[in-house]
Amino acid sequence: MDMDHVASNGLVLLGCGKMGSAMLAGWLKQGLPSGSVWVIDPNPSDWLQSTGVHINADLPNTPAVVLIAVKPQMMGAALPTLAAMGNGETVFVSVAAGTPIAQFEKVLGAQTPIVRAMPNTPAAIGRGITAIIGNTHVSDAALDLAEALLAAVGQVVRLESETQMDAVTGLSGSGPAYVFHLIETLAAAGQAQGLSADLAMQLAKATVAGAGALAEAATEDPAQLRVNVTSPNGTTQAALEVLMDETNGFPALLKRAVKAATDRSKELANG
């Protein structure tokens, strides 16, 4: 089961908002024929209409993949229309936050191959990271296919169990917002030390983006990179003594933040 299988049997994309559009753009760029893609979306964008894909048209009976990219609250109306494709060869892949595999099995049928995925917002520029887990009916080949489709918007990792999805939500799913807030507060702190607002923001954005890129590219781990730029009794050490404080610094703060998001994810999944 590969992209040729998708090209010949078809792919149905349910929902084409930011995430759906980013994935579709990636697939078309990789050479998936637009005629092999059916999109169901109540408000198709001008861009979508320019791609040549089938929009709100009659669907193939047994597409290779149905990729669900609608908001969870829209799922109730949209999913039952696809139930006829359940319990068969069609692989369902969901990027809808907080919707457990069991919920899909209830609507689509218990024998349906279902892959649950948690991407994050940098997927919009092809720099996302997505965690995936399949139910027992997902073959290795189907999981490989789901990974290949989601790789269009960034890195993909596989989980050992669906219970890990709440922690993934707390770390990488919600995590971009933590970094955006870091940029905001870093810029504000620079302004407090006498820099103009525009200059402080430019420095903060470039610093966080550059350090992130360096952390990904470097062979050393982030702890070593930190040590490399920390001169004894220098300016970086003075700041790190504040940030690394076990009670009030990053270690305690981020542990609490990720736990709060993880706990909320569990609550939402349990209705």
Known binding-site residues equal 14-19, 56, 69-72
Annotated binding site for NADP(+): 14-19, 69-72
Question: Which among 55, 105, 107, 110 is positioned nearest to 82, based on CA atoms?
Answer: 107
Q: How far is Cα 202 from Cα 183, in angstroms, rounded to an integer?
A: 10
Annotated binding site for NADPH: 56
Q: How far is Cα 271 from Cα 129, in angstroms, rounded to an integer?
A: 26
